[in-house]
Amino acid sequence: MSDEKALGLDEAYSVKTPEDNRRLYAKWAATYESSFVDAKQYRYPKAISEVFNEHVPTDADELARVIDIGCGTGLTGMYLSHLRPHLFIDGLDISPEMLAEARRKQRTDDSLVYTNLSECDLTQSVVNTFESYDALICSGTFTHGHLGPDALKNVLSLVRPAGWIVIGVNNEHFEGKNFQGELDSLADAKRITAPEILRIDVYEKGSPHFGDQARVILAQII
Ligand SMILES: C[S@@+](CC[C@H](N)C(=O)[O-])C[C@H]1O[C@@H](n2cnc3c(N)ncnc32)[C@H](O)[C@@H]1O
């Protein structure tokens, strides 16, 4: 792949391993927003934040701390902070270069979006060094060659009992990798409530990718 060529979905969907992901996003971090998010009218971080805002209760005493997994350059945290300014938001990602971009993201009052940003491979079990979270949000990371259904159980321990998960999954990936089967097992094992599955558009009308959708898994930890 030439460095001059804009990176995009073809490259993102052709990765296979965590090491491939580290390499891809090391090259892509600086131009991810200009060459992909803006150029292709990628609305996933905004859409998932809107789902969170509509479905996760607003009581500040009960919902104060959120973890954004596969946070990338920090767009999901940024949109969520616009909708819910009182939230403390931490982020996890495998790519130090993407985390460096997220570190600069600001809220509408110019304070930083994220309190803590940590490097973490979510294909492995996750050790949380902080207090457990009230909710978890994720856009764009459960997709081809990134995270499969196995990674769901790795991240549940980040969230306290009765806390919420709002996780977007690429539509074809959801079907092809049998996410529903994994969700049924987690619900049967009483790890999560029976999930509600919603659908969102990943790209705005006018994007060459308009029509691509994601499922959104909405559930509570038991
Ligand atoms: C398409 S980007 C999505 C970023 C952001 N959530 C958004 O919607 O703009 C996918 C992100 O997943 C991260 N990622 C890929 N594999 C990962 C893994 N094994 N563990 C943690 N993060 C991973 C990448 O570094 C990248 O930042």
Q: Which of 17, 21, 92 has most ligand 1 atoms within 8 Å of its beta carbon, as the pocket-test mutant?
A: 21
- 91 close to ligand 1 (CB < 6 Angstrom): no
- 71 close to ligand 1 (CB < 6 Angstrom): yes
Domain assignment present for residue 72? The answer is yes
Beta strand segments in 9-98, E: 65-69, 88-93
- 44 close to ligand 1 (CB < 6 Angstrom): yes
Residue 74 CA, ligand 1 centroid: distance in Å: 10
Q: Which of 146, 170, 212, 216 has most ligand 1 atoms within 8 Å of its beta carbon, as the pocket-test mutant?
A: 146
- pLDDT in single tens digits along all 222 residues of the chain: 334 467 787 787 788 899 999 999 999 999 999 999 999 999 999 999 999 999 998 875 678 999 999 999 999 999 999 999 999 999 999 999 999 999 999 999 999 999 999 999 999 999 888 899 999 999 999 999 999 999 999 999 999 999 999 999 999 999 999 999 999 999 999 999 999 999 999 999 999 999 999 999 999 999
Domain assignment present for residue 79? The answer is yes
Domain assignment present for residue 1? The answer is no
Closest CA to 138 of 41, 218, 36: 218
Residue 149 CA, ligand 1 centroid: distance in Å: 15
- 21 close to ligand 1 (CB < 6 Angstrom): yes
- CA distances (Å), origin 16, targets 128, 147, 167: 25, 10, 21
Give the phi and the psi of residue 202 in degrees, each rounded to 5.
Answer: -85, -25
Position in ligand 1 atom list of the atom nearest CA 75: 9
User: Is the alpha carbon torsion for 22, 28, 29, 32 positive or negative?
Assistant: negative
Distance from C-alpha of 53 to C-alpha of 87, rounded to nearest angstrom: 11
Which pair of structure tokens corresponds to residue 51?
């789902």
- Predicted confidence at residue 15, as pLDDT, reads 84
Distance from C-alpha of 87 to C-alpha of 62, rounded to nearest angstrom: 11
Distance from C-alpha of 88 to C-alpha of 5, rounded to nearest angstrom: 37
Domain assignment present for residue 3? The answer is no
Number of domains in the chain: 1
Distance from C-alpha of 69 to C-alpha of 49, rounded to nearest angstrom: 13
- CA distances (Å), origin 31, targets 79, 103, 187: 19, 16, 39
Residue 110 is part of a domain; what is its CATH number?
3.40.50.150
Distance from C-alpha of 54 to C-alpha of 198, rounded to nearest angstrom: 12
Residue minimizing CA distance to atom 4 of ligand 1: 72
- Predicted confidence at residue 13, as pLDDT, reads 79
Domain assignment present for residue 32? The answer is yes
Domain assignment present for residue 75? The answer is yes
Domain hosting 213: range is 9-220
- Predicted confidence at residue 145, as pLDDT, reads 93
Amino acid code (one letter) for 59? D
Distance from C-alpha of 188 to C-alpha of 103, rounded to nearest angstrom: 38
Strand partners, 90: 67
Position in ligand 1 atom list of the atom nearest CA 22: 25
Closest CA to 134 of 113, 112, 161: 161
Domain assignment present for residue 2? The answer is no
